Structure 1
Amino acid sequence: MAEISISVEDFQKFREFFYRKTGIQFESSKRYFVDKRLVERIEATASDTFRSYFTLLRFQASGEELQQLTNLMTVNETYFFREEYQFKCLVDSILSEITARKTDRSPIRIWVIPSSSGEEPYSIAIYLLEQWAGINDWDIEIISSDIDTHMLAQARRGLYSTRAIQQLPARYLQKYFKRSGENYQLCDDVLGAVEFTRVNLSERADTRAYRNFDVVFCRNLLIYFDDLSRKTAAETFYDALNPGGFILLGHSESMSRISSLYKVRKFPDAIVYQKPLEAR
């Protein structure tokens, strides 16, 4: 087979298509990253050229190839207890406000997106078990979503490298993990505390069912979106949250620059964003 090359025009066509499908915008500086993965999938599908592969990508009824490529194109880099100060804010400040309003004693619902390979939602579960005094008095539901099906499968397995657990306190590692060769296997109790789902944040059909959440963690995802996609995501989270619900973003992200829908709340440990109580 002749060497496959991706032209500037090919890159532009793909970039626009992928943006419409996922909300993720690749800059020209990402050419090498994108081209390499496109060539990999062109060869894997026995397509002769970018043009034939692009036709498959757009018109395949099952959407399987788009999912395969999306899995390759999304970056998943995380570890346990990343930006732990936000978990402290959740326990020390946010949950007391939420429980004070829940006169019906309904479950506290937390949505974590993206899930990546599961370190963040599992970190939240462990932190609540260890640090929140109300853990025995309230039901907690943690739903974690991602567009990448490979990452979701990995998250459900709960098997982690030494690098992933390097920031985890030793007592938590000993309590919630067991050694499995060179890796660490998360215990069944914590595995069962998180439900994983596939969601494309840019697809309204995917997000429509996500409602009545008290807290959303969306950390270090919106940096890959452009302004329009960020605004759409902000509106999606607004619809997903209960009035008075909170959203926590990555340390370099600011909802104030994206949308005016939320109130800024400055707690001792973190700045977070709140859907107004009077919202409908």
Structure 2
Amino acid sequence: MASTTPVALSDADFTRFCEYFYKRTGIHFTAGKRYFVDKRIDTCIRNSGYDTFASWFAALRMSDSGGMLQDLINQLTVNETYFLREDYQFDAMLSTVLPNVLAARGGVNRIVGPVKILSLPCSTGEEPYSIALRLLEEWDQIDHVDVEIHGADIDSDVLAKAAHASYGERSVQRVPKAWMNKYFVAVGAGRYQVDEGIRSAVTLHKVNICDTPSMRSFRDFDVIFCRNVLIYFDELSSRRAAENLYAALRPGGYLFLGHSESMSRISPIFTPSRLPEGLVYQRPTGAK
């Protein structure tokens, strides 16, 4: 029977682990995150049936990209989100960005291919479903333009929750009552599921934003929301993520970051664009 005493990590163990996790994900943990990391590692060790850090870590490195690593990623990624979060950026998408996208691609009557929007990381799905709701309810071109909405995340657990799309009161507290009645179904005490029509409008993917080979499948997006994730990366990982986002956008495409993030501190490859609602970044037109 496994011990119930928490597994203790030495300073050397913590350093070795952080180096390993950084190489696999690009996520950098400082000593200030020690308590958080230690607690999550203890959970992973118990989930895997080991009693010591040394035995668990050896098995983790042997399996490398297997289930143990995915369990670890799921434990250590933060997924704080809710519907219509930082919705001033959705305002910018509707009022300025999408009209600019249509104009750049020849106008509504001449546009070739769908308008593609990516939410990365999408966490448990509130962001891509918020995008779908805003488009359906407030974009006057939605009946004339084909739109693809994609959500992606490194965490397989949150992607499963996004696919199920069942949310508690806190997640939906900002959703207008009329939208709740129209697009959500009560599935239990204080739980609401997004209806099938909205769920089917969002395609979900598992991807590591810092892994360039896996990010190569993301191309020709007109708009990308990548909010509140780059703050978890060091300089090198942030730059790699920025380059992967750049490659995923069409020339002239738009990138939204979190309110506390700044691309100017990471990479000069994007052009900042000051919209009435706030700052957005563009892949320059004609850029390769």
Aligned to 1:134: 141
**What displacement does 1:48 show?**
3.2
Aligned to 1:48: 51
Q: Distance in 1 between matches of 2:286 and 2:42?
A: 51
Q: Distance in 1 between matches of 2:122 and 2:24?
A: 19
1:23 aligns with 2:26: yes
**What displacement does 1:13 show?**
0.5
1:211 aligns with 2:219: yes
**What displacement does 1:105 show?**
2.4
Aligned to 2:259: 251
**What displacement does 1:62 show?**
5.4
Query: Which stretch has the larger CA shift, 232-241 or 27-36?
Result: 27-36
- Structure 2 residue matching 1:115: 3-state secondary structure: coil
Alpha-carbon displacement from aligned partner over 1:230-252 (angstroms, at most 9, x marks no partner): 11111001111100000000011
TM-score w.r.t. length of structure 1 = 0.97
Instruction: List alignment gaps of at least 5 residues for structure 1.
Output: none
Aligned to 1:184: 192
CA RMSD in angstroms comes to 1.2
- Structure 2 residue matching 1:246: 3-state secondary structure: strand
The one-letter code matched in structure 2 to 1:171 is: A
Aligned to 1:169: 176
The one-letter code matched in structure 2 to 1:140 is: V
Of 67, 73, 83, which residue of structure 1 is paired with 2:76? 73
- Structure 2 residue matching 1:251: 3-state secondary structure: coil
Q: Distance in 2 between matches of 1:99 and 1:267?
A: 17
- Contact 1:121-1:144 at 8 Å conserved across structures: yes
Alpha-carbon displacement from aligned partner over 1:91-143 (angstroms, at most 9, x marks no partner): 10001111112234210011110010000000000000011101011000011
Aligned to 1:268: 276
Of 57, 64, 67, which residue of structure 2 is paired with 1:64? 67
Q: Distance in 2 between matches of 1:80 and 1:227?
A: 30
**What displacement does 1:168 show?**
1.1
Aligned to 1:222: 230
Q: Distance in 2 between matches of 1:99 and 1:215?
A: 12
- Contact 1:21-1:202 at 8 Å conserved across structures: no
Alpha-carbon displacement from aligned partner over 1:155-194 (angstroms, at most 9, x marks no partner): 0001000000011112111111121112011111110110
Aligned length: 280
The one-letter code matched in structure 2 to 1:239 is: A
Aligned to 1:195: 203
Q: Distance in 2 between matches of 1:233 and 1:265?
A: 20
1:96-135 equivalence runs, <5 A = 96-103=99-106, 104-135=111-142
1:232 aligns with 2:240: yes
The one-letter code matched in structure 2 to 1:114 is: P
Q: Distance in 2 between matches of 1:61 and 1:221?
A: 23
- Contact 2:220-2:250 at 8 Å conserved across structures: yes
The one-letter code matched in structure 2 to 1:136 is: D
- Contact 2:183-2:195 at 8 Å conserved across structures: yes
Alpha-carbon displacement from aligned partner over 1:179-234 (angstroms, at most 9, x marks no partner): 11120111111101100000011212211111111111000111111111111111
TM-score w.r.t. length of structure 2 = 0.94
Runs of at least 4 residues of structure 1 off by over 4 A?
Answer: none
Of 37, 41, 57, which residue of structure 1 is paired with 2:40? 37
- Contact 1:111-1:217 at 8 Å conserved across structures: yes
Aligned to 2:91: 88
**What displacement does 1:61 show?**
5.9
Q: Distance in 2 between matches of 1:63 and 1:202?
A: 18
Report the identity percentage: 46
